[in-house]
Amino acid sequence: MTQVNRMTLRNQALSTLALAAAFLTSCTSTHPPAAPLSAKPTGKQVTIAVPLGLPPVPIPENNPPTAETIALGEKLYFSVKLSVDNTIACSNCHDPRHGFTDAQPVSTGVRGQKGNRSAPTVINSAYSTTQFWDGREPTLEAQAGGPIINPIEMGHTAAGAEKAIDQDKDLRAMFETAYGPAPAGQSPVTMERIANAIASYERTVLRGNSPFDRYLYGGDKKALSQAARRGLEVFRDPKKGNCAVCHTIEEKFALFTDNKFHNLGVGIDPEGKLIDEGRIKISRQEADRGAFRTPTLRNIAETAPYMHDGSLKTLKEVVDFYVGGGNSNPQRDKEIKDLQLNKQERADLVAFMESLTGEAAR
C-alpha cells in the first residue's frame, strides 16, 4: 500500500468516526443513553442456608444471590417507596408477622382498593415452579415487578418507582454496591435490578425445621405429639385424608405442593357458578377451569384465612371442606371426594398441620 492510499484511508476512517461522534452527541443531547444496565450482581455468590426438611434452593443462572443483593432486596421488600403514594410495601400484604401473608380474605392496596384474591405466603416460594395462584408468572424475578405497577396494589409506573428509589441516597448507594457504579449521568436503579434483588431476598424466606421435620427427617421421635403423628398418617393414607397426593412429602424433604393446578370447587356462588376461573385463563385448557396451584402448607397455622379467595377461616373449616368433598362441579379434581374421617381423625389432621410451623435456617 502506498503512503497516499494509507493517508486517504485513515482520513476516511477519521471522518466516519467524526460523523458517528456528531450523530451520537446530537442523540445524547436530547435522549438519555439507552444502553440497559446489566442486572447481574457484581459481588460473590453466596449459598443460601436451608433449614431441616427443605432441598437446596434452585438458583437462576442470570441472578446468583450475593450478600449485597439480598440485603438490598430486603430493604426494597419493606419499602413503601415502591408504591405511588408511599403507603404500601410488599410486606403490607406479605407480612412476616402473619407468615408472610396479610391475614385478610383479600388484600388492600393503594387508596384502599381491594383485590379479588388472597395474598399467598412468600415462604418457600423459592421452590415454586410458577408464581401466583394461577401460575401466570414463571419466576420470582418475573413476579416482583408486577405488584409495583399493578394499579390496585402499589399503583406506580416503572419510571416512577425507579425515580423514587434513586432519590433515596442510601438505597441508591446499595444499588451501586450490589451492581457496580453506574456510568456518569445514569442511575444505578432499574426495574430489572429492583426485581432481581427482591427475588434474591425472597429466596432466603425459608421455613423448615418444624416439629414435623425434626420427627421425620431429624430422627427425633418425640418431636411430634401423639395427635400430630396420627394426623400425619391420616394425611398420607390414600384411603383416609389422601392429602399428600397434592401436598407432597418426599423421602428427604417436603414442600407440601406438587406445583400443579387443581379444582376443589373453592369459590362457587350459590348458583353453582365459578366466581374466579383460575388457571384456564392462562392455559386455555378446559380441565383447568377453576383450578389453582396447590399452596404449600408450611407455617399454615400462621396464614389464615385460607384458599385463593380467603373463604375458609380456620384449619378446622378447611378439613370439614375436604371431608365434604369440596364443591362438586364438572372440573373437580378426581382426587377430591367425600372422606370417611371420624371426629378424632379430623382433629388429628389439624394437629398435624399445626406441627408444620417452622423456622429459618440458623
Q: Which of 52, 72, 84, 154 binds ligand HEC (CB under 6 A)?
A: 154
3-state helix, strand, coil split of the chain in percent (to 5) is 40, 5, 55
Mention every residue, 6+ apart, whose C-beta is less than 8 A from residue 359. Answer: 51, 207, 208, 209, 210
Size of the site for ligand HEC (CB under 6 A): 55
283 alpha-carbon distance from chain centroid: 20
Note whether 141 binds ligand HEC by CB under 6 A. no
First to last CA, the chain: 72
62 alpha-carbon distance from chain centroid: 17
DSSP three-state, residue 131: strand
What is the rounded distance in angstroms from the CA atom of residue 202 to the CA atom of residue 79?
A: 14
Minimum distance of ligand HEC from residue 266's CB (angstroms): 3
Q: List the grid coordinates of 282.
A: 392462562
Q: For 298-333, give one letter per residue: b (16+ CB within 10 A) or e.
A: bbbbbbbbbbbbbbbeebeebbebbbeebbeeebbb
Mention every residue, 6+ apart, whose C-beta is less than 8 A from residue 321. Answer: 264, 266, 312
Near ligand HEC in 297-316, by CB under 6 A:
297, 300, 303, 306-308, 315
Query: Residue 180 or 259: which CB sits closer to ligand HEC?
Result: 259
Query: Residue 65 or 109: which CB sits closer to ligand HEC?
Result: 109
Mention every residue, 6+ apart, whose C-beta is less than 8 A from residue 125. Answer: 131, 140, 202, 205
Near ligand HEC in 63-82, by CB under 6 A:
77, 82
Query: Residue 68 or 134: which CB sits closer to ligand HEC?
Result: 134
Note whether 232 binds ligand HEC by CB under 6 A. no
User: Residues 85-114: x/- map of binding to ligand HEC (CB under 6 A)?
Assistant: ---x-x-xxx------------x-x-----
Query: Residue 213 or 348: which CB sits closer to ligand HEC?
Result: 348
Note whether 206 binds ligand HEC by CB under 6 A. no
User: Residues 281-300: x/- map of binding to ligand HEC (CB under 6 A)?
Assistant: -----------x-xx-x--x
Instruction: Single out the segment in contact with ligand HEC by CB under 6 A; choices: 11-19, 60-68, 139-147, 169-177.
Output: 139-147
Q: Which of 63, 69, 128, 355 binds ligand HEC (CB under 6 A)?
A: 128
CA proximity to 198, closest of 336, 288, 89, 338: 89
Query: Residue 131 or 209: which CB sits closer to ligand HEC?
Result: 131
CA proximity to 77, closest of 189, 188, 201: 201
Mention every residue, 6+ apart, whose C-beta is less than 8 A from residue 342. Answer: none
Q: Which of 66, 125, 177, 190 binds ligand HEC (CB under 6 A)?
A: 125
Residues composing the chain: 362
Q: Which residues bind ligand HEC (CB under 6 A)?
A: 77, 82, 88, 90, 92-94, 107, 109, 115, 117, 119-120, 122, 125, 128, 131-134, 140, 143-144, 147-148, 153-154, 198, 202, 241-243, 245-247, 262, 264, 266, 292, 294-295, 297, 300, 303, 306-308, 315, 318-319, 322, 333, 335-336, 349
